[in-house]
A = this chain, B = another copy of it.
Amino acid sequence: MIYSMCYIPNEELRTNIPVKEYAALLKNPQALLWIDFDGEPDESAEPILTGIFRFHPLAVDDALQETHTPKVDDWGEYVYIVLNAMVFEEADGLSLATKELDIFLGKNFIVTHHDDPIIPLEKARTACLRDKRYTSHGPDHLLYKIIDDLVTDYMPMIEAIDDQIDRVEDEVLVQAAPDTLERIFSLKRILLAMRRIITPQREVLNKLARDDFEVVDPHDRVFFRDIYDHLVRMHDLNESMRDLVSGSLDTYLSVVNNRMNDVMKTLTVITTIFMPISFITGFFGMNFFEPVAGLTTWTSRLAFAIALAVFVSLPIVMYMWMKRRTWV
């Protein structure tokens, strides 16, 4: 699908512009043309990018292949930017996916290309239709609007992950479910993945805010710095959340370890208490003390009384000894 939009001052905003009119509009320095290739097959996108916009074949290849890390390439008359949209899924296991968004920014046009629909981009498109403010300040302003929507869209995901962390933190302290550990690990992985998404885009915005591009008005750099600060903040949040997850893991492991120590101590206490007195019952169960054997003093009532006393006192003594060694 190709969504197109053309803003010319004092004219009606046009949409659904036929491809053959692109070239004419590009010649108008007053116009602002936004072409959005939304899941458009490469066969139909490629000739437009190469033929009409005359982008370098390597840049077009990069845009069509969808396998690039965020970056800015300055091609002089236009700038090629790769960004990532983030998609967070909570259904059966947490996971974080990325969608690549390729942007070509020129003096009087923006071309965006993506294989899958990107919600914040659609929002930006709708906003432009409703409100001329976004298109009337030139393509770099429109770019700011698009990136800002894209980055702002990360926030609910960060909050959803934060909720997950809160839940895990509670579970760990109260009652660790069998899958708690797995969820901690998956949160760790997601936060790592998120950092991988945020860090290079932060660098892209840093470049847009600092470097000198022919197609970016120096006065508008301050807007990109604003998004940059946003991403710095998200990066910091990410670091803090990773600390929390690490803390949860530490707590989980210490809880499990404590419980296992309890188990081992109980095993030892039970064994230590019953093994000696069981031996004594075995002792008096031997056939030496059969009536005919004549060792009747060993089975007298006094001996029984002593044995009973040992059965009662020995466990108590052992328990106290273990208590003193701070086991119980």
Contacts and interface: CB of A to CB of B under 8 A. Distances in A.
Contacts of A325: 262
Interface centre among A56, A61, A260, A311 (most CB of B within 10 A): A260
B279 A276 contact: no
B189 A259 contact: no
A247 interface: yes
Interface string A297-328: 00101011001000100000000000001110
A214 interface: no
A69 B233 contact: yes
Contact of A263 (B71, B222, B268, B279): B268
A28 interface: no
Contacts of A254: 181-182, 185
Q: How many copies does the complex hold?
A: 5
A270 interface: yes
Given A262-B325, A263-B265, A295 B301 contact: yes
A288 B300 CA distance: 7
A293 interface: yes
Nearest to A71: B229
Contacts of A289: 287, 290
Contacts of A259: 326-327
11 contacts: A58-B223, A69-B232, A185-B250, A256-B257, A264-B267, A283-B311, A285-B285, A287-B290, A288-B304, A295-B301, A295-B304
Given A285-B286, A287-B287, 11 more contacts: A58-B226, A181-B258, A259-B326, A264-B268, A270-B272, A270-B276, A281-B285, A282-B285, A287-B289, A288-B299, A295-B304
Interface of A: 56, 58, 61-62, 67-69, 71, 73, 175, 178, 181-182, 185-186, 188-189, 192-193, 196, 222-223, 225-226, 229, 232-233, 236, 239-240, 243-244, 247, 250-251, 254, 256-268, 270-272, 274-279, 281-293, 295, 299, 301, 303-304, 307, 311, 325-327
Q: Which 6 A-B pairs have the closest CB atoms?
A: A281-B282, A284-B286, A287-B289, A267-B268, A274-B275, A285-B285
